[in-house]
Chains A and B, each alone.
Chain A
Amino acid sequence: MSNQRPIQVAIIGGGCAGMTAAFELTRPEHAGKYHVTVYQLGWRMGGKGASGRGPADRIHEHGLHLWMGFYENAFRVMRECYAELKRDPTKCHIADWRDAFTPDHFSGVADWSPSGRWLPWRVNLPPFDGQPGDPGNPLPRWTIADYLARSLTLVRTLLTAVQHHEASAPAPATAPSPSTAGVGTPESLLEDVSRLLKYGQLATLAAIVEALGLVESVLGVLPRFPESVLVRFLDAISTAARGQLEKVTEKDDELRRLWEIIELVLAVVRGSIRFRLLTDARGFDAIDDYDCREWLRLNGASERAINSAFVRALYDLAFAYEDGDFSRPRIAAGQAVRGALRAFFTYRGAFFFKMRSGMGDIVFAPFYEVLERRGVRFEFFHRLENVKLADASRLKPGERPYVEALEFDVQAQVKGGGEYQPLVDVRGLPCWPAEPDYTQLVEGKRLKQEGWKFESHWDKRKVGTKVLRVGEGFDFVVLAVGGGAVKHVTKELVERDARWREMVERVKSVPTQAFQIWMSAGMRELGWTEPPINISGFVEPFDTWADMSHLASEESWKRPPRAIAYFCSALPDAPEAEQQSPSFPEAQHEKVRRDAVRFLNRDIVHLWPRAQQKPGEFRWELLMDPSEAPGSEPRARGEARFASQYWTANVNPTDRYTLSLPGSLRYRISPLDPTYDNFTVAGDWTDCGFNEGCVEAAVMSGRLASHALSGLPRLEDIVGFDHP
């Protein structure tokens, strides 16, 4: 690169991926080599993570956002961002990253008991040393053998618990007599396995636990160990354990859950050995053409185990329902197993972290402030319409294709031609508003009166257009829009490049739905007597609930709510023709309202037994309306009170959640893909190493995009990229 001037980078989309790419490219280490401009639809950054402050400064989210303790890249970037921000804690109560993220150890899944009722299965996952994103703390080089060893340890512990739980616990088995070939050698392990198989010494739980210990040892030397013997041994262990436990577990919900987990883990271990994943260069990718349930079934898990609360929660948390159809749960087995293993076995600090305010306020306001200080320009109200490629006939021999121009619709002009100032102050905390500040916009009053919906795919109104050309408006492009929007903004790419065509066809996304309620009664009064929790695997249409009551103090109510609850799930996709209708978003919004009302009337009682005033009717008077003064006459009664709460149908292409369907992951395009020599991609829809929709994947892709353009960060510093 011979240019002496700074390299102009246009980043399209200010979600987690785009902001991360901007953060990486403007690090001081680059000494100003890259000048970044972020182009953003509408008035706020965040994409699927955007939030806004509504009436009473209520936080309005796109959905429910929890950060997991294995989000090493996301936490690392956020910690650096907060460190650089240097907020004054006397003026802003969320000054440090520890103020922003609260460890959340208490989680659960909703379990359908054979006794015919929903039971929350609560787990208190212990804190672990360190914190996600700890600097200078090298992380292990993960292997599948490591994970399997950990998994077997989990099974042994569960079996030991079962053993203690069982009233008529059998006497411990005689320990296998030591082999003669030397303790711990492959030869001695094989002798032990053969003896156990031959003499059927798996008649007690204690013996099974011992046998599992043997398998753990074998994993350390697996390439020198006959796999067929090991699979046979595992089968014998499973059969023996099933024989010991199945009758017992029928009557006891706690034992049944433990047995389901044991079955699932044994299926993963057995499958990893049968599919030779330990030595397969593709790691877990090798089984991505299978659906996770299908693969578990292939490897011996029972129907009961693969339909257990744990597996349902795994699908729910990834909105893993093709076309939002709850009868078609589908997720690529490799990525699902990778995600579960990373979640359980590599978290630091806490399994989950909750944000202490809206995601926009916790993540995107700090990003915005730091990047602005670094000189990043933000062009709000820009809607990308086309990525124009250079004519192939003009390419010289050996020259790679490149992006020649970016074509935008400009949705609004800022008065005086300056930059739009997007943040509002909520008691010292910079926040994003739920609506644009029309006073900053040319003819803002008219735009407001006419109800321009800047974030709506169906509102194509504009005040002008803008074309950026290579070498003038940009040198490099990072396409960081939401996965669902890609096909709408890259029509030319899709038309000319078969890989892009396959990508937009095969990498599907799904709309989601969410609602939030603010209540005048505490959770205990509603019958939930446990600590605040996140629960998945519950009944559709809202399978996931999180108690977010901790946010009450962040909002500006005259009388703070005593409980806040967020719910979310996938939203069934409508036929394509229906989606073309201008009234489609409003119709979907109304559908979500109806879903939420029905859910509160009919289903929530299973978790909140005192939330009904009579069978089939929620206690609507508990809902708090921010427009009502305390003690005043209610503005509405009955279920009409729900109108004062917040709900959303995330049907905009940019808001759709990217799925990890079986057989689809190979069609993703990597930020490292060099096909276009001035263009890269970022987002949780890309092939970024962790191919599942989440903050961590988006941040990883943003870091990869930065690496693709600048060589930094190094790939080995992108935690979890090199991972089975």
Chain B
Amino acid sequence: MSALRRWLAGRAAVVGIPYVWLAVFFLLPFLVVAKISVSEMETTTFKDIVAWKDGAIAFSLNFGNYLLLVQDSLYFSTFVSSLKYAAVTTLLCLTIGYPFAYFMARARATLQPALLMLVMLPFWTSFLLRVYAWKALLTEHGLVAEAIEALGLDRALAALGLVPGAGQLMNTPFSLVLGMTYTYLPFMILPLYSNLAKMDLRLLEAASDLGATAWTAFWKITVPLSRAGIVAGAMLVFIPCVGEYVIPELLGGPQTQMIGRTLWDEFFSNNDWPMACAVAVTMVLLVIVPVAVFSRYQAEVQERRT
């Protein structure tokens, strides 16, 4: 009996401590943000939504911020462009990362740990500094800028509308997407690699014995089997990109307004806390579906492993 009680006490502590911690420091803050987003702004601070007024409780809810978010075309287009840049970045990461992970997984087995290490190493080095590095490469006289201009690619980018003119690469949609693709590429490669490396290659042999071409086998077997890896990688890239602040601030320009930057400016420059909160709540609503997909996938992978 006492052993059972001890086991239950141990269980309560193991589950309870991290549970309470997350509830207080992760869940509760969201509720606070939701509350502030519907309170009114006064000159220096926000008003409480519940107040004592003449001996009675007075509620004052203010949905003006949300109304503004929907009606003001500037906010709306910022949301749209954040989603657009995040989607383009995710696609680019997938295009570069899928073949990369595939070839890595099919490389010689002795070589694979070293390749994996080489993918992880940039991930360990400072993200901020790696983004900053692109600034030097893309501004005038920068290494990559010179290379792009020498190849005449800047004119192609200008024709696509990604840069305002030939020779202007920095602070454009191009530099923003390049920076985000660069930063998040390892997040795409790693789940894809761990998925593709586990694949049963006999399936491909069977397909080829049954007369499928390698190309058909790839699309009908390899790609569907790696779906979980694709979903995980895409979520790991897409969700943080929607709310990205540092990369748009360092590599983006006036054209590339993103929602993370809007939230930051509302909070730090305009000091409009309720508005910043309304932006945050809207952002959470935008990413909540992808987050749910991601955590369900995460749970599935973990359960399968046990």
Q: Do A and B come from one complex?
A: no
- Measuring CB to CB, which residues of chain A are less than 8 angstroms from any residue of chain B? none
